[in-house]
Each structure stands twice: as C-alpha cells, then as structure tokens.
Amino acid sequence: MGWAQRQLRSRAPLRARAVVSVSGDEVKLRSLDVVLGRHRMTGDVRFTRSASPRKFTARLESDDLDWGQALVDAGDMRPPPAPPGELFPVRPLPWPMLVALEGTQGSVDLKLGRLLLPDGIELRHASGRLAIDGDRLD
C-alpha cells in the first residue's frame, strides 16, 4: 500500500494542548498533553524551526499505551503477527518519515507505565531513549 493510500485511512480524534513559547528560532511546548483516541501522552518538546541542522528534544510519558491500537488510531494498519519463531514482525521502513528527518539531530526520552505490543506482549514500567543524528538512529 502506497503512502497516499495510507493517508486516506480513518483516524481517531486527536486533541493536543501545551504551553507554547517561542524565542528566536526555538519553540518550546511545555505541559504537553496529547490524546489520540483513548491514548494519552504528556511531556515537553523543544525544537528549532529552521536552524541547520534542525534540532529537537522531547520527554514523553504515558500510563497506558496499546501500540497496535495507537497505530490504527493514527490511520495506519495494525501490524501482522510475527512469523512462527520470531519475536517481531518485519515491517517496511517508513521512508517518508525518514526522509523528513534528514539533517535533523534530536532525542526522545520515553517512559511508559504499561506498553502493550501488537503481538500481545505487555511491558510494565518501560523506558527508553531514541536518538537521531542525520542518517543514524539509536
């Protein structure tokens, strides 16, 4: 399925609130509260609008995140089950998103009280860090 076709899928209601401040090229979103369908994330985000390289930092938290349902709520497809003997299904890379991140440096710190993976595995008190530096993702 192509990117344009994926754009046409139905989505759950999205609501976002934040205290926004702008200073020069930097935008800060404090007390961020995002609700997509039944899923809620809170935190803070800071990013530059046009500096080269573009930079961002984010701290996001959720008490309860069903990843498969969140993908459906965002208009994507629920991932298929992993093949027998494999833990995670293989999915194509999201090329449009990766292209959009070219020339970007940033990090996201995640803290999840409960994370339900699409294959039914449940993680409690999960946390992690995602770091992007141009074409490198850790």
pLDDT, tens digit (0-9, with 9 covering 90-100), for 31-52: 999 999 999 999 999 999 887 8
How much is the pLDDT for 93?
A: 73
How much is the pLDDT for 10?
A: 67
Better-scored residue on pLDDT, 43 or 98? 43
- 88-94: which pairs have CB atoms within 8 A and are 24 or more residues apart? 88/119, 89/118, 89/119
Residue range 52-93, pLDDT digits in tens: 888 999 999 999 999 989 989 988 888 777 788 877 667 777
Tell me the H-state helices in the chain. 3-7, 67-73, 95-100
The answer to whether 74 and 50 are in contact (CB under 8 A) is no
- Cα 42 vs. chain centroid, distance in angstroms? 12
**Least confident range of 16-20, 84-88, 89-93, 99-103:** 89-93
User: Which pTM value belongs to this model?
Assistant: 0.79
Average pLDDT, the chain: 86
Main-chain phi, psi angles of 4, to 5 degrees: -65, -40
Nearest alpha-carbon partner for 73 in 35, 110, 130: 35
- Distance separating alpha carbons of residues 46 and 59, to the nearest angstrom: 9
